[in-house]
Structure 1
């Protein structure tokens, strides 16, 4: 009996140590990422030119929306002296993120994209960031990724299956088709931006888009500074 009690105490001590492994301020379910990301609450990305010393930068803060590519194109056309774009965003429209990244890359100026210390660039924001010819993820900044899908909600599919509707197969097929198409677009985008495609296979597509049935809640992944440089997400040291 005493042996069983000692064993239980040892097991409990290991569980306690494991429970405290997460650093203060980090998300227990996504331990590489902050529990309260600083990514702006703007419902659509606001673009604000600002002088920092002798450098004109563009603050890009808020959700990536369908109108962002056109706004970014006009902003860079009207302000050809912008040399850096500082990003913080919770993501949004995936295709708009890709297109905005291309707008930045096609601009006449050599534009640096930067995630400043403490800021977070998530999901579709990743692709806006990749548009910079020079890219900086500062120490303490968060380049946060998840697997890209056309939907992050399985409830619609599950409900359709439960109801036995004729549209279930079509709905699942549409989601799969669009997800595969977006994956192809992402892969092509990374090649054009000079980012390693291994970012998709080794990081993005190994992180769950939603919680799995076994309760795994790790749906986000924040790159370390070493990973950001290894995958050429950042090509300039912070």
Structure 2
């Protein structure tokens, strides 16, 4: 039997998805302080039987080669009933590509109770044609950035070089292209585009002295509203 969504407790103006008794993050009040998204530096795929089902666990960073390794894992461990995901994110485009692999395979995705799926992991998860977010599972979003490029810009600005202008232009151009790719991905996966405009793009990826918030945990109601979770 599929697990139903439960209501989350209110926390300030947002409703927290933290588990009962969890400590709320004061800088990110929609989220608990501790997020269980795995410490693997490269996403690891492991087959595990759970209640008679063949579950492929996808855990760790979304790295450049994740789509190819996911394809290999799906082939090596077929048939697979569900993919369970926890990840701190990583390469945004690699997450998109991995999500397309999941959609082509037609395998449901799940964020189990106590697990968190952040940033680029969102797109891997949304690749599932059938998507479950358990009552205490966390779908965590922010605005995607090109951190490596921004660090390079900062260094150039410190040196006062003209190259900084070119780097800033590259970041802006690539960010616009990524936004277009994200929008197209959501349309293809049947997820509301408002997830980008109303949530992701309203949440900064880098905090500052006035606003240290860097992430937003969707409530169960929001996950359904934006069609992130389309099954119970």
Which of the pair has the greater relative contact order for Cα pairs under 8 Å at 6+ separation? 2
In terms of fraction of residues, the more helix-rich structure is 1
5 Å-filtered alignment, 1:19-98, equals: 24-98=22-96
How far off is 1:42 after superposition?
Answer: 0.5
Which of 184, 188, 191 is the matching residue for 2:184?
188
**How does the TM-score come out when normalised to structure 1?**
0.86
How far off is 1:210 after superposition?
Answer: 0.6
Q: Partners of 2:229 and 2:148 in 1: how far apart?
A: 27
Change (3 A) 1:117 1:153: farther
Q: Partners of 1:191 and 1:104 in 2: how far apart?
A: 16
Gaps spanning 5+ residues in structure 1: where? 1-17
1:171 is matched with 167
How far off is 1:78 after superposition?
Answer: 2.2
How far off is 1:154 after superposition?
Answer: 4.8
Q: Partners of 1:163 and 1:81 in 2: how far apart?
A: 55
Q: Partners of 1:89 and 1:34 in 2: how far apart?
A: 16
Instruction: Find out whether 1:114 has 2:106 as its counterpart.
Output: no
The aligned length equals 215
Q: Partners of 1:152 and 1:61 in 2: how far apart?
A: 23
How far off is 1:125 after superposition?
Answer: 0.5
Q: Partners of 1:193 and 1:43 in 2: how far apart?
A: 27
Give RMSD over aligned pairs.
1.9
Gaps spanning 5+ residues in structure 2: where? 1-11
Question: Does the 8 Å contact 1:40/1:88 carry over to 2?
Answer: yes
Which of 127, 134, 141 is the matching residue for 2:130?
134
Q: Secondary structure at the match of 2:40?
A: coil
How far off is 1:162 after superposition?
Answer: 3.5
**How does the TM-score come out when normalised to structure 2?**
0.88
Which of 194, 212, 228 is the matching residue for 2:223?
228
Q: Deviations over 1:73-123 (max 9, x none)?
A: 11112223101000110001111100000001011xx41100001110000
